[in-house]
Amino acid sequence: MNIKATIVPFQQGTEEWAQHRARSLNASDLAAAMGMSKYMTRAELIARIATGIVPEVDAATQRRFDKGHEVEAAARPLAEEIIGESLYPVVLAADIEGLHVSASLDGQDLLGDVTWEHKLSGADLIASLDAGVIPEQYHPQMEQGLMLSGAKRCLFMASNGTRESMRFCWYESNPELRAKIIPTWKQLMADVAAYVPTAKAAPVIAAPVETLPAVSVKVDGALAIVSNLPDFGAALRTFIEKIPANPSTDQEFADTEAACKSLKKAEEALDAAETNALAQLTDVDTMRRFVADYKALARTTRLQKEKLVAARKEAIKGEIVAEGVGAFAAHIRTLNAAMPGNYMPQVPADFGGCIKGLKSVDSIRNAVSTELANAKIRANEIATRIQTNIGQIDVANAPMLFHDMATLVLKQPDDLAAVIAQRLAAEQQRKEAERERIRAEEAARLEREAEAARKDREALELLARKREQDEADRIARDLDEASNVHTEMGLTLAKAPPCHQTVMVPLKVNTEADDGARMTLGEINARIAPVSITVAGLSLLGYEPVAIEKAARLYPASKFAAICAAISAHVLAAPVKALEAA
C-alpha cells in the first residue's frame, strides 16, 4: 500500500493538536481498537468516538502527562546517540479508503528512515525490555507510525530520562499486523455508526447489608431462658427475602455474595450463643431447637445463594457467548448473500476462550465484543479476496474449467491466476487436439471418397471402352454383312470405300483415354447439324451421360468421333435391315 502522508503543522500537546486528534483515527488508539490495550477497552473507545466525550483530565493525570513530556525530552539525546541521527517530533496524517488516519511520532530522523517511540519506565516494561521483548500492546501504535512515515523500523525506548534507567529494543515492520490496520478501523467505525448509548455502570460495590440483631441468650436465676431468638428469627427471614432471587448483573452478584457473608456470620453467632447458653445450663430444649432451626435456615440459604451465584454467572457467560456466536453467524450470512454462492469458509472465532479467567459481566461482554469485531475483520478480509477472485474467473465462458469454484475462490489471487492460466492452456491444447483430430478425420474421409471416385471412374471408363469395343465389333460385322449384301445385289458400295473408311476411323479414336473434357447433347447436335439425336438415341447407341449439370447431360468430348461413327454405322445399316425386314 503506497501511503502519501502529510505533516500536520500542530505542535503536540496544543489545543489545535487535540482537535486534530479528535477528528482522526490515531495510532495511540489502535491497540484499543484491536482489543489489546490495558488502559482502554474497545467498547470505551467506540463510546468516546461516537459521543465525542473525552474524560476530563484531572490534576494527577495532567502531572503524569507533564512528566512524560519532560522525560521524553531528556531521553531524546540518548535515542539520537543510538540512531546516529537527530530526531524531530512530527504529526502525520493521511486519508486511506475513506478513513482519516494519524500518528504523533515522538521522533523521526530527517530522511524518514527511522522513528522513535518513548514510554515512561515501569517495572514490568523494564523487565520485558531486558528480556528483549516489546509488549504486544505497543506494536499497533508503532506499526501505524511506520505505515504513515514510510520508515522500516522504530526504536522503542523506556526510561525515566536518565541513561541508567534507559532500556530499548528495535521494532521491525510487521506486514501481517499492517494488513489489519485499515480493516480494524473500518470495523470500529461500523460499530461506531451502530452505537447505542448506555448508562455506564458504576463500580460494583455491595449494598449495605442489613445487620441482624445480636443473638442474646442468658440464663436467669430461675433456670428460665431469656433470649431474643423469636425476634432474631423474624429478622433473619426478612433479611433472606431481600436477597436477589435470580442475580443477573454485577451489582446483584455483589449484593448476594455480601448477604451470604452476613448469613455465615449469623451461623457463627448462633453457634456462639448456643455454646454460651449451654455453659450456663445443662438442658434447655427450647433454646436448642430455636438455635438449631435458625442455624439450619441461615446455612441452607447461604449455600443455596452461593450455588445460585455460581450457576447464574456461568449461565450469563453462556448467554453472552451465544450472542457473539449468533451475531457472527449473521455477519457470515450477510457476506454470503453478496456472493453468487455460499463461498465463505469457517472463520475462527474463539468466543469461549476469550472470556477465560474473567469474572465481571462487563469484562466478559467487552471480551466477546472485541472477539466479534476481530472475527468480522478476518471474515471481511476473506470476503474481499473471494470477490476479487470471482472477478478473475470467467465461469460463463468456461463452466467446465471451474467446477470447483468454492475451492478456487479461497486461493490467494496470485495462486488463482496461476491455476486459471494453467487450466486455460490445457483447455486450449485440448481444443487444438480436437480440431486436429477432426481435420485428420475429414482428410481421411476425403481421401477415401476420392479413392472411391477414382475407382468408380476407372470402372465406368472400362465399361465404356468395353461397350465401345463391342459396338465397334458389331458395326464392323454389320458393315461386312452390308458389303456382302451389296455385292450380291450388284451394287458397287464395296468399291466406294470413303464412307466405309469414315466409319472405321472411330475404332482408332475409341482407344483414347478420357481427358476430362465434357460436351452437352446440344453441342453434339450442333456439330452434326442438320442431323440431330436425342438422349434416348445415344443411349440406344450405347452412350450414357457421365454427369448431369442442372438439366444438361454431359458426355466425354473425347468420344465425339466414336459417337459419329456409331451414328454413321447405324445409318448405313438401316437399308440392310429394311431389306431383311422385307
What per-residue confidence (pLDDT) applies to 508? 39
Do residues 503 and 572 touch, judged by C-beta distance below 8 A? yes
Give pLDDT, residue 509.
40
CA dist., res. 484 & res. 573, Å (int): 12
**Residues with Cβ < 8 Å from 211, sequence gap 6 or more?**
262
Provide the pLDDT for residue 15: 86
pLDDT at 113: 92
CB 78 within 8 A of CB 117: no
Q: What is the pLDDT of residue 494?
A: 38
Cβ contacts of 387 within 8 Å, gap of 6 or more: 338, 339
Q: Which three cell numbers stand for residue 475?
A: 458395326
Provide the pLDDT for residue 325. 86
Angstrom distance (rounded) from CA 316 to CA 312:
6
Residue 501 pLDDT: 37
The dihedrals phi and psi of 516, each to the nearest 5 degrees, come to: 90, -10
Q: CA-CA distance, 36 to 31, in Å (whole number)? A: 5
pLDDT given for residue 155 in this prediction:
97
DSSP state, 511? T
Cα–Cα distance between 132 and 4 in angstroms, integer?
A: 33
User: Which residue positions in the chain have pLDDT lower than 70?
Assistant: 1, 57, 198-226, 278-285, 287, 395-400, 482-513, 576-582
